[in-house]
Chain A
Amino acid sequence: MPQIIDAKTAASLIKENERIMFGSFLAVGCAETIIDEIVKLGTKDLHLICIASDYEDRGVGKLLSKKQFKSAQVSHLGTNKAIQDQYNNGEIQVEMIPQGTLMERIRAKGAGLGGVLTPTGLGTVVEEGKDVLTIDGNQFILEKPISADWAIIKAEKADKMGNLVYSKTARNSNPVMATAAEKVIVEVSEIVEIGDINPEDVVTPGIFIDYIIKA
C-alpha cells in the first residue's frame, strides 16, 4: 500500500545525483507542487528524464532555471531557453531521444525487457554507436532500457491503493513512467477511498505507486 505524505516530505526524499523521471508534456500532466518543493530545497546534480524541458516558469523548466540538473534525456528543448543556454555553455549534458523511442526505452525497463528494436532514427545521428539488427529483412536500432531512482508523476485521482485515473492529455508519459522507476511518487487532485474507482477505469494499477501527494 502506498503512503500518503505531503509534497515537502516527498521532495526531501530526493537526493543529489539521483535520476528522476518526470511525467509532463509541456507542463501539462506535471507534478508542479512537488517540483516547487524540490526548487525550494535546491537539490542539485539531478538527472532529468522527461518528454521535453517545458517552460522556464512551468513544469520541469522551474528546476532547469535553478540549474538543478547536471544531465538530461529529453526529446525536445525548444520551448525553454534556460536549458538551451546551459547546453550551449556545457553546463548540462543532454541526450536527445526521439519521443517514441524515449517512451519505449522507459517501457522496456518497467516491463523487464532488455531493450527495444525500432526503425526510428535509422540513417540519422540517433543510430550512431548503436547496434543495428536485421529482422525478417528489415533494419532496426537496438535501444536500451532507461531506468530511474524516482518517477514523479501527476494523475487526476488516486484511491488509497494507488490506483490512478488521469485527465485528458495530462495522461501522456505518466502511466509508462509509473512502471519504470525504483520508487514512484504521484501528485493527485483527489484521493478517494478504496473501491470508489471503477476497476474498469483504472489506467495505472496501484502496485506501481509508493507515495501519494494530494495537492
Chain B
Amino acid sequence: MDRNDKNYKRTLIGKRIAKELKDGDWCNLGIGLPTEVANHIPEGTSVFFQTENGMMGVGPAPAQGEEDKDLINAGGGFITAIPGACYFDSCISFGIIRGGHLDMTVLGGLQVDEQGNLANWMIPGKMVPGMGGAMDLVTGAKKVVVAMEHTDKHGNAKLLKNCCLPLTAKEKVNLIVTDMAVIEIKDKRMHLIEIAEGLTVDDVIKATEPELVLPKEIKYFSI
C-alpha cells in the first residue's frame, strides 16, 4: 500500500463516503474524485444518482461502441440510464438541487474551513473554471460532503481556520472525507471522527490548521 498513490487515495475516499449513503437515497456526485463513490455502494443498498444536466437514475458508463450522443453526465462523460430513470430540463434539475430534495451531494474542494465554508470554484489569477452547478448543490442538498486530499501537493493544509479563496457557499459543509481523516463540521468546529488506517491522531493534527475536537475513541477506515 502506497499512501501517496492516487488510486489508493481515490479508492479510500470513495469507499468511505459510500458508507454515508442509505438505501433509497437521492444523491448528486460532483466531477472528478466524487464519482468514485458510485463504485462502492454496498450490495443491497439502492441509491439514485442525479446528474444536473437533467437526469435521475444514472447508470454505469456504456460499453465501448454503445455510447449515446444524447446521454452524458455533468462532466461530459457518456453514461447509461438505469430502469426507473427519468429526464428533465435544467430548471427542474436545479429545483431538485436548490429545493432541498437531494439527500446528499459530494463535491471536490480546494479549501474548507471550520465554519463549514467551502472554496472550490476559482483561484484568482490562475484558474477560473466557473462554479457551474456547485453553488446550487452546496446551498440546497440536505447533506454536503467534501471529498478531497487532506493537503495540497506542497503539503499545505487545505482544512483551514478561514478559507482564503473565493467561497462556493457559506457554512454549508457537513462532512469532509480525505485520504487522512473523516471530519464532521458541527458548531463551527472540526470534529475528528475517523482516521485512515496506518496514521496517528498526531499525523492528522499536524496536517490540519484548526484545532480538532478529538473523539473519545479513535476509529479507523481503510480500503
Contact = CB atoms under 8 A, between A and B. Distances in A.
Contact of B130 (A26, A78, A173, A203): A78
B91 A123 contact: no
Nearest to A27: B76
Given A123-B170, A169-B70, A96 B130 contact: yes
Contacts of B51: 169
Interface in A96-155: 96, 98-101, 103-104, 107, 118-126
Contact of B132 (A52, A122, A203): A52
Contacts of A96: 128, 130-131
Interface string B68-94: 111110101000010000011111001
A123 B88 CA distance: 30
Nearest to B131: A98
A176 interface: yes
Contacts of B132: 52, 75-76, 78, 99
Given A75-B131, A171-B54, A99 B167 contact: no
B94 A100 contact: yes
Contact of A76 (B97, B131, B136): B131
A25 B55 CA distance: 13
B70 A170 contact: yes
A51 B89 CA distance: 12
Contacts of B171: 123
A118 B54 contact: no
A87 B136 contact: no
Contact of B53 (A77, A78, A172): A172
A119 B98 contact: yes
A78 B133 contact: no
B54, B68, B81, most chain A CB atoms within 10 A? B54
A28 B53 contact: yes
Contacts of A170: 69-70
A12 interface: no
B204 interface: no
Given A169-B55, A171-B89, A176-B91, A76 B129 contact: yes
Nearest to A174: B89
A105 to B, nearest CB: 11
Provide the main secondary structure of the chain A interface.
mixed
Nearest to A176: B91
Contacts of B130: 52, 74-78, 96
A167 interface: yes
B157 interface: no
A162 interface: no
B113 interface: no
A12 B54 CA distance: 32
A98 B135 contact: yes
A169 B71 contact: yes
A169 B87 contact: yes
B29 to A, nearest CB: 15
B54 A169 contact: yes
Nearest to A124: B167
Nearest to A173: B90
28 contacts: A25-B54, A25-B72, A28-B76, A75-B132, A75-B133, A76-B132, A77-B128, A87-B128, A96-B130, A100-B94, A100-B135, A103-B90, A118-B98, A119-B139, A123-B169, A123-B170, A126-B131, A166-B87, A168-B87, A169-B70, A170-B69, A170-B70, A171-B54, A172-B53, A172-B54, A172-B90, A175-B89, A176-B90
Interface of A: 25-26, 28-29, 51-52, 74-79, 84, 87, 96, 98-101, 103-104, 107, 118-126, 156, 166-176, 203
Interface of B: 51-55, 68-72, 74, 76, 81, 87-91, 94, 97-98, 117, 128-136, 139-140, 166-171
Chain A to chain B: the 7 pairs with minimum beta-carbon distance, closest first? A78-B129, A123-B170, A100-B94, A100-B136, A76-B130, A98-B135, A76-B132
